[in-house]
């Protein structure tokens, strides 16, 4: 009997065609650069000199075989769920009693964010850790991102992504698991906890999605201490002053996608600015991220042509409608100091069953990539608490 195509799981490896590399190099060499006002730095957006230097490195020195090696270090697969291709890492631990763990990334991240944590999570003994902390790790490229390829229909929003990864875990034979996520992955994780409590033992997030209107208090602000009010003000300021990217991608992603899909320099400029602004780099991007690691993520978007579909998630997802009003499974939250969205704890505890709340000393929006050791340690501590 021939298996149903939608049930088939096939091995996958990243392989970059030489013609694609040459096309990229040609496009980078022919980039038409904009002007920049003197001494303006990053004030108007991505700094011209920084981007030119990065793109020159991408064109001349980026090690494509190293890129393939990094991404192919762990077992990868593809399957089809609801007529949508889904790519994922499945890193089984050598420890038979390891806890199944689902990791979900966000935008403009990718599965490349997790390259430094997959090994320690799956095989702690090989990384100086305790074997009892081991996980069987599943890390999908969310539909519309990276090697999952673009989405192909209207309405493919975060709830649809959530159902897809839940089906993936079921297909892999995991009837109980822990879920972790940041950015859009945090909303996926929250929805898994809310909608699949019979399968999800606990959730852990770097961000917390909630609707203040769902809080049962006449004045939600009265639930906040001074720290909570400061978090609220900081997040509100981000939304008011630094969220223009969100407005564009929520309303006209297709218009933006023409330039980003055609120009690798344009794509890098759009993505790298977010890595600088949303990370704990204190304005010094390359002191915080290796060039190759930044370009891993940019290259994933470039090679797969998925910047448009990845941005389309902002258009398709009604965040207010998608955000659950209550998540009853045990929840842990890692608060990194440079995170752009800081949900006040007083509100979080009205919606989530918070059993773990950790204020980290460093890190930002891309925590697994920025501070992998802290990320792994906090996740282990949370799971150890709820098991």
List active site positions.
183, 314, 365
Residue 183 makes CB contacts below 8 A (sequence gap 6+) with 105, 106, 107, 109, 206, 207, 365
- CA distance linking residue 176 with residue 178, whole number of Å: 7
- CA distance linking residue 12 with residue 102, whole number of Å: 19
Residue 281 makes CB contacts below 8 A (sequence gap 6+) with 275, 287, 288, 289, 338, 364
Backbone angles phi, psi at 26, to 5 degrees: -65, -45
**Three-state SS at 6:** helix
Residue 350 makes CB contacts below 8 A (sequence gap 6+) with 210, 214, 215, 216, 217, 223
Which of these, 365, 325, 97, 89, lies nearest to 193 by C-alpha position?
325
Which of these, 369, 380, 370, 371, lies nearest to 70 by C-alpha position?
369
């Amino acid at each position: 009997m021939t298996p149903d195509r939608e049930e088939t799981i096939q091995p996958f490896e990243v392989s970059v065609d030489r013609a694609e590399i040459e096309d990229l190099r040609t496009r980078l060499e022919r980039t038409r650069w904009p002007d920049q006002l003197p001494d303006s730095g990053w004030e108007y957006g991505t700094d011209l000199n920084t981007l030119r230097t990065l793109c020159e490195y991408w064109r001349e020195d980026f090690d494509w075989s190293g890129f393939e090696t990094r991404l192919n270090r762990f077992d990868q697969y593809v399957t089809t769920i609801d007529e949508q291709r889904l790519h994922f890492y499945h890193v089984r631990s050598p420890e038979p009693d390891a806890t199944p763990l689902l990791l979900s990334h966000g935008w403009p991240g990718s599965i490349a964010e997790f390259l430094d944590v997959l090994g320690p999570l799956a095989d702690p003994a090989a990384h100086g850790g305790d074997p009892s902390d081991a996980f069987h790790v599943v890390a999908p490229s969310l539909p519309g991102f990276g090697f999952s390829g673009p989405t192909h229909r209207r309405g493919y929003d975060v709830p649809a992504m959530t159902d897809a990864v839940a089906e993936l875990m079921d297909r892999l034979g995991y009837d109980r698991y822990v879920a972790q996520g940041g950015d859009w992955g945090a909303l996926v994780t929250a929805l898994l906890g809310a909608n699949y409590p019979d399968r999800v033992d606990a959730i852990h997030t770097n961000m917390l999605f909630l609707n203040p209107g769902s809080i049962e208090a006449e004045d939600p602000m009265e639930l906040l201490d001074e720290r909570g009010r400061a978090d609220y003000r900081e997040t509100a300021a981000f939304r008011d002053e630094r969220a223009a990217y969100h407005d564009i991608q929520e309303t006209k992603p297709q218009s933006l996608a023409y330039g980003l899909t055609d120009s690798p320099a344009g794509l890098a400029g759009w993505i790298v600015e977010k890595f600088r602004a949303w990370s704990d780099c204190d304005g010094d991007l390359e002191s915080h991220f290796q060039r190759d690691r930044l370009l891993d993520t940019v290259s994933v978007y470039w090679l797969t042509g998925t910047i448009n579909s990845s941005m389309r998630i902002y258009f398709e997802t009604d965040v207010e409608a998608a955000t659950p009003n209550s998540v009853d499974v045990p929840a842990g939250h890692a608060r990194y100091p440079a995170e752009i969205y800081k949900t006040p704890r007083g509100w979080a505890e009205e919606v989530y069953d918070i059993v773990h709340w950790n204020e980290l000393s460093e890190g930002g929006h891309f925590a697994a990539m920025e501070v992998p050791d802290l990320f792994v340690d906090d996740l282990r501590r949370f799971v150890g608490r709820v098991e």
